[in-house]
């Protein structure tokens, strides 16, 4: 698998038999639907694509997640949900025997996952836990973070469900679990282990559970969803409905680059043209073109009349920029404009 964009001459839902779909910023935003999500996933299913929803959010149980998806028009069962809480519990099992005490800082989803893995859940550092499992929940505050810090300071193993610094909500971006984990790390000086994306652990668990011929990872964050795809050797689709922007794609580090780019989940239903390199360093996708000259990105065409036009501009900009960087050319970030602004949410 190359470090650049790939193409697909057939719709993605016809090529891949399993999609690992992120939730926040992809299937929904907070408790609000995302345009095209229900339409894209329902149609993809009708073509034979199976879905597993893989989320770094460890606060909720799979049943609750499935219920929310169903209410938003995306039929789902608890068995189709894989959470970072489940991955954290599996990580704990790699070092601790069942029956060990684990101080859980987080919501019901993490408590259930840790308990189901055979551990004794405690809530105080004075219970002498062998580990601290920390995941996001809106109710987590100073008292819980303090208990975690006391336990980690006394030698407990610190396991974070994920390290996302921000969490997309209907009102904007709020502090995520990584920000709360950072408070414990700052207090103790101990770097936690993480079970969530960008580690491919959850992807591997989901594929093993579902079985698949060819798997597609779908996400909105380059530093978690798409980095996890690269790390696990999966093809990753970046949809422009969440945290990372089209400009972020162009400036992405090699380990965080998507393989495919789409406006939203309806991009599962279409073919994806592969950028082609032509004369004088120009890269093209249909009518869009871009190149890097003297370290600066040049776009051959910026006027767009459709969603696919805008995405094509992003594709060629990425192809040109990544090729230049991989050839040792330093790309001037000020030459990279905001792209596909008509596709991104407020």
Q: Is 22 a catalytic residue?
A: yes
Enclosing H/E stretch for 235: strand 235-239
Q: What is the DSSP string of 25-92?
A: TTTEETTEE-TTHHHHHHHHHHTT-EEEEEES--SS-HHHHHHHHHHTT----GGGEEEHHHHHHHHH
CA-closest candidate to residue 209, choices 343, 20, 7, 341: 20
- CA separation for the pair 128, 329 (Å, rounded): 53
Residue with tokens 């809480």: 85
Structure tokens at 157: 């193993």
- CA separation for the pair 257, 212 (Å, rounded): 23
Exactly one of 14, 17, 22, 204 is catalytic; which is it? 22
Residue 209, Cβ neighbours under 10 Å: how many? 12
- CA separation for the pair 9, 83 (Å, rounded): 32
Residue 255, Cβ neighbours under 10 Å: how many? 13
What's the gap between Cα 219 and its chain centre? 4
Q: What is the DSSP string of 82-132?
A: EEHHHHHHHHHHTTS-TT-EEEEES-HHHHHHHHHTTPEEE--GGG--SEE
Task: Region of 90 please: left (phi>0), alpha (psi -120 to 50) or beta.
Answer: alpha
First to last CA, the chain: 34
Exactly one of 14, 17, 24, 35 is catalytic; which is it? 24
Q: Is 24 a catalytic residue?
A: yes
- CA separation for the pair 4, 67 (Å, rounded): 37
Structure tokens at 273: 């043209």
Q: Are 207 and 16 in contact (CB under 8 A)?
A: no
Q: Rounded to 5 degrees, what are φ and ψ at 78?
A: -60, -35
Query: Which residues form the catalytic set?
Result: 22, 24
């Amino acid at each position: 698998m190359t470090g650049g964009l790939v193409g697909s001459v057939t719709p993605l839902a016809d090529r891949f038999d399993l999609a690992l779909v992120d939730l926040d910023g992809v299937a929904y935003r907070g408790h609000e639907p995302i345009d095209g999500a229900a339409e894209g996933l329902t149609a993809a299913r009708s073509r034979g694509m199976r879905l597993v929803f893989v989320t770094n959010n460890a606060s909720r149980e799979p049943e609750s997640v499935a219920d929310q998806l169903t209410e938003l028009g995306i039929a789902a069962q608890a068995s189709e949900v894989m959470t970072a809480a489940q991955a954290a519990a599996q990580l704990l099992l790699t070092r601790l025997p069942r029956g060990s005490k684990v101080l859980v800082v987080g919501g019901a989803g993490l408590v259930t996952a840790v308990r189901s893995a055979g551990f004794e859940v405690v809530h105080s550092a004075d219970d002498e836990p062998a580990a601290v499992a920390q995941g996001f929940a809106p109710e987590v505050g100073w008292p819980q973070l303090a208990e975690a810090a006391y336990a980690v300071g006394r030698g407990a193993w610190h396991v974070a469900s994920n390290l996302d610094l921000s969490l997309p909500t209907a009102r904007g971006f709020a502090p995520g679990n990584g920000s709360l984990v950072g408070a414990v790390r700052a207090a103790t000086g101990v770097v936690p282990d993480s079970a969530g994306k960008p580690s491919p652990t959850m992807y591997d668990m989901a594929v093993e559970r579902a079985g698949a011929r060819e798997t597609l990872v779908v996400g909105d964050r380059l530093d978690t969803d798409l980095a996890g795809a690269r790390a696990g050797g999966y093809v990753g689709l970046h949809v422009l409905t969440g945290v990372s922007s089209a400009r972020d794609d162009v400036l992405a580090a090699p380990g965080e680059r998507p393989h495919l780019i789409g406006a939203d989940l309806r991009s599962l239903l279409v073919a994806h043209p592969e950028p082609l390199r032509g004369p004088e360093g120009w890269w093209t996708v249909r009518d869009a073109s871009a190149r890097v000259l003297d370290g600066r990105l040049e776009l051959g065409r910026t006027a767009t009349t459709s969603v696919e036009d805008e995405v094509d501009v992003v594709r060629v900009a990425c192809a040109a920029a990544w090729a230049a960087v991989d050839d040792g050319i330093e790309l001037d970030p000020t030459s990279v404009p905001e792209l596909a602004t008509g596709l991104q949410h407020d």
